[in-house]
Amino acid sequence: MTRISVCRIILVASLACIDSRLMAEDGYRLWLRYDRIESVALRTEYASVLKYLVLEKKSPVLNAAENELKIALQGLLGGEPVSVGDIGESGALILGTPSTSPIISSLKLSAELKQLGDEGYYVFSTTIKGKRSVVIAANKDVGVLYGAFHLIRHLLTRQNIQTLAIKSAPRIRHRILNHWDNLDRTVERGYAGFSLWDWHKLPDYIDPRYYDYARANASIGINGSVLTNVNSNAQILTEPYLLKVAALADVFRPYGIRVYLTARFSAPVEIGGLSTADPLDPTVKEWWRKKIDEIYTHVPDFGGFVVKANSEGQPGPQNYERTHADGANVLAEALSAHNGIVMWRAFVYDNKVPEDRAKQAYNEFKPLDGKFNTNVMIQVKNGPIDFQPREPFHPLFGALPGTPINVEFQLTQEYLGFATHLVYLAPLFKECLDADTYVKGKGSFVYKVIDGSLENHALTGMAGVANIGNERNWCGHPFAQSNWFSFGRIAWDPSSSSQAIAEEWIRMTFSNQPEVVKTLAEIMLASREITVKYMTPLGLHHIMGWDHHYGPGPWIKDKPRADWTSVYYHKADSIGIGFDRTKKGSAALDQYAPEVRPTFEALENCPEEYLLWFHHVPWDYKMKSGRTLWEELCHQYHAGADSVKWMQRSWNALEGKIDAERFAHVKSLLDIQSREAVWWRNSCILYFKTFSNMPIPVGLEKPDKPLSYYEKLQFPFAPGIRPKW
């Protein structure tokens, strides 16, 4: 272990043992808050077994597990020293694999470990040498690390350790954060400060935050990090930057995390001096082979590439009249010798005015099914447009039976109020994953596409666009941390419930008090639906501000592309509102399985939350509530804004039960969210009223400013705008 690692461990261990009343609760510790357990009885119960730790053989990964347990236990047990060595007088915590631990080998666990793979673990209570003990066993060292964090999670949520019998293994192989970080440390769609990666000081200066980033990811099972923006810069593939990448990989490796990069398709021209990047050109193939070999000399466990090509101006194989498969395969062939993978993004749309942008990805990728190399995954956003507050599941899920697909979720709140709105995203993730594609009959859920079980794919993945920056609390909003946490938990097990994850995160991050857990869980579980109502109710989508995507902009038109405008999507006119994607319109609904289409095809059957996504509906259409569409739209906007006030009241009722610093922080952010919810409500109702020519329903608060006021608002320096270069 390096000297810096030892110093880091000592520092964190010291901080973990300080009385929490003396520490500022600024959110830096995320969900790894190792404060003394309040209950003396529970501390005594845990200490009787867990203050003796047995690790019989060392390795970098096992050391990381041991060190985390020592830090956690010393903090939770109130500063009591944790002994490392033999089984204590009352028992011990034993960790390892059958090949690294004679004690674990003697327990004959082959049957229990057989189904757990390389990353799974078995945590259980038992008696060893007549002493009560807890064992963390796995087939590989990284499984022991994940098991250690599961036990810590168990302790942080104050659960019993006397009858432990926990077996867990990930259902998704590649669980990856995608950082949209640029080499100048700006972050595209980043709302929590600048990039964590200080490229200027790397590789010589290793920021201690890199270790804490790795610890946090390992604690929730994330095993990959894409360091660079999908709108990529070829310089990251040059040797000076590869040395920097290698330094980060060295930090992450003991925590089971592999690094990935984004590959700019035109790199052979931009940094290689070639005259072409044609993927079928032999010189291009050879250039990529040598470049990838070079990467592996610096990072032996390099994971591979994410590629955005022929989308939003990014170069790609279509520049040379080649297909996406041609482009992906030239990289995949070179990576295959090193067990690397390609994650080729399906977020594409051509340079022509589209018939319906929701159809673009399906139209381009469906004909290529089965033509990609076996180490290529197609990375598909959860919905067919672009991370909107609500979208139906993407039609590509299940439509490519011969090709592994990994889902891409967005943790950074590009379309959900940036880092000033409290929006818990696990319900959004689950809404997609639990949707039934019907491609192989009833029960063909999206999560079965993603975990490989539907088509028997071994290569599986889930990607999350990171919401992390260099702000002290990592994510800007204290509750935005829950989206990082929930992504990792759902990527490990897509069947996990939004409520269970929320309650677990609350207990680890804020408090185990029942009242606090209940109140915060209610707020979190309602927050996404509330946001949809005050932003894009009834299936509206893509009506945010231009370029920066901050605030409402349903009036946006006359931009370089029709599908970069709001009017293209809502199609409001004197008759009604909404995008007709049935057979009478763009027929985008035909891209779904025949069993899915009837749910949305008939206006009277369509779930109202998707109504305006699939239909252009008359303003006077009678809704299930008995109101007209116009009246219902107004009521939805008002209900959303009013519900934020409920969130404020619920939060304020917890004063004194939440630490003062984070209480004040969230209180201020909820004030912002409430004002912006009213902004969304007023501007959208006033704008759509110009088409409906109907009055705002009696009893609803009227806007206090004219539409012209909202239309003139400008935000040239809103955070997260895409750099112009």
Whether the Cβ atoms of residue 450 and residue 443 lie closer than 8 Å to each other? no
Structure tokens at 592: 């779904």
> What DSSP string runs through 25-81?
--STTTT---PPPS-HHHHHHHHHHHTEEE--S--HHHHHHHHHHHHHHHHHTTSPP
Task: Work out the angle at residue 153's Cα, subtended by the Cα atoms of residues 152 and 157, and round it to the nearest 5 degrees.
Answer: 115
Query: What pairing do the DSSP bridges indicate for beta strands 165-168 and 174-178?
Result: unpaired
Angstrom distance (rounded) from CA 184 to CA 724: 13
Structure tokens at 564: 């970069």
Structure tokens at 167: 């077996």
Query: What pairing do the DSSP bridges indicate for beta strands 576-577 and 617-618?
Result: antiparallel
* Residue 174 to residues 259, 304, 461, Cα–Cα distance (Å): 11, 11, 4
- DSSP three-state, residue 104: helix
Region for 85 from its dihedrals, namely left if φ exceeds 0, alpha if ψ lies in -120 to 50, beta otherwise: left
User: 478: closest CA among 535, 549, 423?
Assistant: 423
- Tallying the residues shown for the chain, one arrives at 725
**Any catalytic annotation for residue 19?**
no
User: 637: closest CA among 528, 524, 538?
Assistant: 538
Query: Taking each helix axis from N to C terminus, what angle separates 208-219 and 481-492, rounded to the nearest 10 degrees?
Result: 50
Whether the Cβ atoms of residue 589 and residue 600 lie closer than 8 Å to each other? yes
Structure tokens at 138: 């796995």
Whether the Cβ atoms of residue 658 and residue 478 lie closer than 8 Å to each other? no
> What DSSP string runs through 274-300?
-S---TTSHHHHHHHHHHHHHHHHH-T
Q: Which of 68, 326, 356, 386 is catalytic?
A: 386
Structure tokens at 325: 């498969």
**Any catalytic annotation for residue 112?**
no
Element (H, E) at 380: strand 376-381
Angstrom distance (rounded) from CA 622 to CA 626: 6
Angstrom distance (rounded) from CA 496 to CA 172: 13
Whether the Cβ atoms of residue 329 and residue 279 lie closer than 8 Å to each other? yes
| Cβ partners under 8 Å of residue 637, min gap 6 | 533, 534, 537, 680, 681, 684, 685
Angstrom distance (rounded) from CA 658 to CA 295: 47
Q: Which of 312, 355, 671, 701 is catalytic?
A: 312
> What DSSP string runs through 168-220?
E--S-SEEEEE--B-TTS-BTT--SSS-S--TTTTTT---HHHHHHHHHHHHT
Angstrom distance (rounded) from CA 492 to CA 172: 6
Query: What pairing do the DSSP bridges indicate for beta strands 121-128 and 131-137?
Result: antiparallel
Structure tokens at 162: 């006397």
- At residue 631, φ and ψ (nearest 5 deg) are -65, -40
- DSSP three-state, residue 324: helix
Q: Which of 414, 451, 601, 676 is catalytic?
A: 414
- At residue 259, φ and ψ (nearest 5 deg) are -95, 145
Question: What residues are annotated to the active site?
Answer: 312, 386, 414
